[in-house]
């Protein structure tokens, strides 16, 4: 499989080259040159196929020519060594729980897959790679965990000061070794802008070998398709196509789900559940894609005012707005609605949502309750464990969120970060002079 830049000013590259580069030289995102067709045998027999075998079959065409079958199977087996259960909240709505991995967030699958691919590609290299990544919450912890201790890889994570939860901050600031956290006194969009400027800076790239671990990287973005296959495997009403509702910030996860649908997975309508950082909701109403200043919310991983991956969704539907709108809707959910949803779902069904899952649940319920939205129900993606957002969850439910044993020791570790102003020159100085 080869990949082209969405800016169409860079050479076609292999999966290996796209993974190592992260972003194309013309600053475009890489996109598959041909979209594979999902095997009917996989769909028809999916209930009897192991999760690892499903992931292997899904990812095989995307890595062809760069990763052989034996190595790919090893990578997906290490990536998916935790459950991904579909829990029915009620008869109409199920929750795909993506928080059973090592950092309790959906980013674990993509980060683990990418780290193992990059480790494989660098195995016989004597150069060091710097993985540079901006995070609005969960990406940082997942990337830190996935790349921790990987030979020849240094990880630099930028996160917005005071805008990630205490658990999220501990996950990306307490590992040390080859992981460095930069605490930026600004928003996620400031962090993402600084990272993009670093990739565009000639001097940095002459002296440092940079790659990205955000979902702009194909090795982070593409394996997220697997979630949707595992959800369909567990979906009880195979005679109906489930509506799929995804809490959306940078739009990599929902883009992967739409890719799975376009290539043959029988899923119904998609809903982008947004908080008030809702430029895609605005776009679907007006066809104007206008970035805006980020507003801090309870669902902080979705606090993105300029989502990078939406251009891939536009490409997926051949830049045809009617085709895109036939497959995708968006709803804007406020913090007040988020808290009310956590409270009501816990009270009525005994199920605890995190703020991101609550945004998705509220949006899906709104869609299903609006004719002709029913269509047999659907599922949300519950992207993070409620323990990451104890204040919001405990105030809504009146119950303490139990800290998993794996987190207790980490929460007692000392935070280590480098505080930085949201100025690219500060990041440049750090990369060229301050990084070990």
pLDDT digits (tens, 9 = 90+) for 283-325: 999 999 988 888 989 998 888 888 989 999 999 999 999 999 9
The per-residue pLDDT for 435 is: 56
In this structure, are residues 152 and 127 in contact, taking their beta carbons and an 8 Å threshold?
yes
238-252: average pLDDT: 93
Residue 59 has pLDDT above 80, yes or no: yes
Q: Which class is domain 82-105+221-397?
A: alpha beta
CA dihedral of residues 272, 301, 407, 105 (deg, nearest 10): 30
**Pair of tokens at residue 178:** 């080859």
Banded pLDDT at 152 (limits 50, 70, 90): confident
Residue 436 has pLDDT above 70, yes or no: no
The answer to whether 107 is a known catalytic residue is: yes
The alpha helices in 4-153, defined as continuous H runs, are: 15-21, 40-44, 51-63, 69-79, 107-121, 138-147
Handedness of CA 322, 242, 97, 107 (dihedral sign): negative
Residue 280 has pLDDT above 60, yes or no: yes
331-338: average pLDDT: 96
Banded pLDDT at 266 (limits 50, 70, 90): very high
364-374: average pLDDT: 83
The per-residue pLDDT for 93 is: 96
Banded pLDDT at 10 (limits 50, 70, 90): very high
Banded pLDDT at 403 (limits 50, 70, 90): confident
Residue 73 has pLDDT above 80, yes or no: yes
The per-residue pLDDT for 287 is: 92
Catalytic residue among 40, 107, 123, 236: 107
229-246: average pLDDT: 94
The per-residue pLDDT for 314 is: 96
The CA distances from residue 300 to 103, 111, 241, 403, in Å, are 16, 19, 30, 20
The per-residue pLDDT for 415 is: 92
The CA distances from residue 197 to 10, 23, 420, 435, in Å, are 18, 12, 15, 17
Least confidently predicted of 54-58, 139-143, 271-275, 373-377: 373-377
**Separation between Cα atoms, residue 139 and residue 64, nearest integer Å:** 26
Handedness of CA 427, 417, 144, 248 (dihedral sign): negative
Q: Is 289 exposed, middle or buried (0-12, 13-18, 19+ CB in 10 A)?
A: middle
What pairing do the DSSP bridges indicate for beta strands 328-332 and 270-274? parallel
What pairing do the DSSP bridges indicate for beta strands 129-134 and 210-212? parallel
């Amino acid at each position: 499989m080869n990949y082209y830049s969405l800016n169409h000013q860079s050479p076609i590259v292999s999966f290996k080259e796209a993974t190592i580069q992260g972003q194309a030289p013309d600053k475009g995102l890489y996109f598959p040159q041909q979209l594979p067709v999902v095997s009917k045998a996989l769909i028809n027999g999916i209930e009897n196929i192991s999760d690892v075998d499903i992931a292997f079959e899904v990812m095989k065409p995307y890595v062809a020519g760069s990763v052989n079958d034996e190595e790919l199977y090893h990578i997906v087996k290490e990536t998916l060594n935790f459950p991904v259960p579909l829990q029915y909240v009620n008869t109409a709505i199920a929750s795909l729980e993506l928080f059973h991995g090592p950092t309790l967030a959906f980013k674990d699958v993509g980060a683990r897959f990418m780290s193992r691919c990059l480790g494989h590609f660098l195995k016989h290299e004597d150069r060091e790679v710097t993985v540079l990544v901006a995070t609005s919450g969960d990406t940082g912890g997942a990337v830190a965990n996935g790349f921790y201790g990987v030979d020849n890889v240094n990880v630099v994570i930028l996160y917005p000061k005071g805008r990630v939860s205490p658990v999220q901050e501990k996950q990306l600031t307490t590992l040390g070794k080859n992981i460095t956290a930069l605490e930026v006194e600004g928003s996620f969009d400031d962090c993402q802008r600084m990272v993009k400027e670093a990739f565009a800076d000639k001097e940095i790239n002459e002296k440092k070998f940079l790659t990205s671990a955000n979902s702009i990287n194909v090795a982070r973005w593409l394996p997220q398709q697997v979630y949707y296959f595992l959800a369909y495997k567990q979906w009880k009403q195979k005679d109906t196509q489930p509506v799929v509702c995804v809490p959306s910030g940078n739009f990599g996860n929902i883009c992967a789900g739409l890719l799975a649908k376009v290539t043959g997975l029988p899923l119904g309508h998609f809903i982008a559940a947004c908080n008030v950082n809702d430029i895609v909701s605005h776009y679907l109403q007006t066809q104007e894609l206008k970035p805006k200043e980020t507003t801090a919310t309870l669902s902080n991983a979705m606090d993105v005012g300029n989502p990078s991956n939406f251009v891939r969704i536009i490409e997926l539907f051949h830049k045809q707005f009617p085709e895109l709108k036939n497959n995708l809707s968006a709803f804007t959910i406020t913090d007040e609605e988020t808290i009310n949803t956590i409270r009501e779902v816990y009270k009525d069904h005994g199920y605890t949502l995190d703020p991101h899952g609550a945004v998705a649940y509220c949006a899906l319920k709104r869609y299903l309750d609006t004719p002709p939205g029913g269509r047999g129900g659907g599922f949300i993606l519950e992207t993070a464990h409620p323990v990451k957002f104890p204040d919001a969850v405990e105030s809504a439910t009146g119950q303490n969120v139990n800290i998993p044993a794996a987190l207790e020791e980490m929460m007692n570790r000392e935070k280590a970060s480098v505080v930085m102003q949201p100025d690219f020159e500060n990041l440049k100085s750090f990369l060229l002079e301050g990084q070990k």
